[in-house]
Amino acid sequence: MLLELIGSGGMAEVYRARMKGQPFFARGENPKQFTREVAVKLILPHLSREDSFRELFSREAHMASLLDHPNIIGIQDYGTLDETDFIVMEYIHGMDLRGLLKAMPDEKPVSLGEAVHILYRISRGLEYAHGMGGPESPGGIIHRDLSPHNILISTEGEIKIADFGIARAVLSDATWTTAFKGKLSYMSPEQVEGKPLDHRSDIFSLGIIAHQILSGRHPFTRGSDGATLKAVQNADFPPISSAAGIPASILMLVESCLAVNPSSRPASAGAIAAELEPLQTPKSERILGQRVQSHSKTPREIPAVAPTSATITRPKRYGAPITITTLLAIAAMWVFLSPTGIEKPAISTPAPSAQSAGSNPPDAAAQSNPLPAQKADYITISTSPPGARIIVNGNVVGRSPARISLDKNRGPLIVSADLYGYRKSTFSLDRLEGDRTLRLTPLPRGEVRIGAIPWAQVFYRGNLKGYTPIVLEDLPVGKRTFVLKNGQMGVTREITVEVGEGKINTVNVDLAAN
């Protein structure tokens, strides 16, 4: 039964609801029923008139229902009832990131530790979804509508991504601008231009969220939709001030996510998570949960309405729908009539490590380490295998092969190459030596055996490895973090295990214990 309207927008209305049922193992004449709170999303009628929308909605909802990850909202059911498309999802006690940012109007809404926690968890959820393939989604599942509105934060500090699969169905409808009004500023340049999308579109949206959390302001919002679209297309954003105490590596990571050219962005959400993982602090999740608890509202129960007889009256919508072609034409006209460009907000001159990535550099390494206008000499650092994180004099410059500007790094260069599963290599490089190729040494390996009472799914580095009891082989030595999840109990537990060389470490977790 529906209890309370908790959110609405151009795409759907969301209700807090109560689901009743009986376990499959129930016996007797009057078996005991279970009661569970859920969230029910009702798609607005103007989006679901057409059979083509319903077919695509059903297919995308099915794909999204296959996602099972601690950082993605679980879909429990979907379908059509009384000509209304609906989705039943897990209910999160907390609030969305948009609400949290609104409740905290300060220039820096959350601490650096909380920001890293939020971005790390979003990255892990995206990494999992992008890695899910199938006949209908061979390149993984792309969100297409990643924004603070779709990032939910529980009172325990958990991060959940919502609405996978819905955006694609809505974007295919002619009334998409009504549904996405206010979200243009979170789209990628290729999405605004109507080009084919891949997972790197979500990475750009994640970069926007990161910039907003760290700076306290949206990087692209302007005075009109046309101006906002132009800013997004050109990746015209103010750099985050290095005076805020944010590490240069994070500033450069955000800038690389916001590159106009998708090939200049991080290769995957997993690569972003790998950058953020060492920067996490143990107490950030708890502190964030307390912050959410202080700002979120206590749910109130309103007169129950049975879903089978619910009649939801919505205001009539007048006027012809605006298509994406019309909106882009408006944006093009705005650009044509405004040759002087956008008036940029006044900002302080940033430190070299926080320069804007608004322009489109020739390659990913140049994007990670902006180059001065004058002539510069370079050294290229390569690794075998490639893809290692390259750190020069304490600053992350990108993934190997990485090009380093000597004009930006005067004096001796202290270079480190860091790649998962390999020993970190650090050396001093003379400016006159020229390009360098490093052969990385694999770390020794070990095994971990994980058991859980009663049972659990086991996730490692954002990927589902299987169900307990499970043996994970060929793990690099060192501290490794695993996530155990039992959906029936609603329990998610994170454990850290020390992997020893040639050793088998056995861990048993009682999920019922506090």
Catalytic residue IDs: 145
Instruction: Please say whether the beta carbons of 417 and 425 come within 8 A.
Output: yes
DSSP 39-106: EEEEE-GGGSSSHHHHHHHHHHHHHHHT---TTBPPEEEEEEETTEEEEEEE--SEEEHHHHHHH--S
What is the Cα–Cα distance from 427 to 116, expressed in whole angstroms?
29
Of the candidates 451, 465, 466, 456, which has an alpha carbon nearest to the alpha carbon of residue 508?
451
Instruction: Please say whether the beta carbons of 387 and 399 come within 8 A.
Output: yes
What is the Cα–Cα distance from 508 to 514, expressed in whole angstroms?
14
Instruction: Please say whether the beta carbons of 154 and 211 come within 8 A.
Output: no
Q: Rounded to 5 degrees, what angle do the CA atoms 210, 212, 216 make?
A: 130
Which residue do the tokens 């800013």 mark? 231
Q: Residue 30 class from Cβ within 10 Å (0-12 exposed, 13-18 middle, 19+ buried)? A: exposed
H or E element: which one contains 442? none
Q: How far is CA 265 from the centre of its chain?
A: 14
DSSP conformation class of 485: E
Identity of residue 290: Q
Which residue do the tokens 């708890």 mark? 286
Output 321-328 pairs: Cβ under 8 A, ≥24 positions apart.
321/174, 321/175, 321/177, 321/178, 322/177, 322/178, 323/174, 323/176, 323/177, 324/176, 324/177, 324/194, 327/177, 327/225, 327/229, 328/192, 328/193, 328/194, 328/229
What is the Cα–Cα distance from 249 to 228, expressed in whole angstroms?
27
Q: Where are the alpha helices (DSSP H) in 131-180?
A: 166-171, 176-179
- Give CA separation, 156 vs 75, 152, 284, 293, in Å: 20, 11, 11, 8
Render the burial of 197-230: b for 16+ CB within 10 Å, e for the rest.
bebbbbbbbbbbbbbbbbbbebbbbbeebbbbbb
Of the candidates 86, 21, 33, 1, which has an alpha carbon nearest to the alpha carbon of residue 302?
1
Instruction: Please say whether the beta carbons of 218 and 225 come within 8 A.
Output: no
- Strands 445-453, 470-476: pairing kind: antiparallel
For residue 288, give the 3-state DSSP assignment.
helix
Spatial neighbors of 142 by CB under 8 A, at least 6 apart, are 129, 130, 168, 197, 198, 199, 201, 202
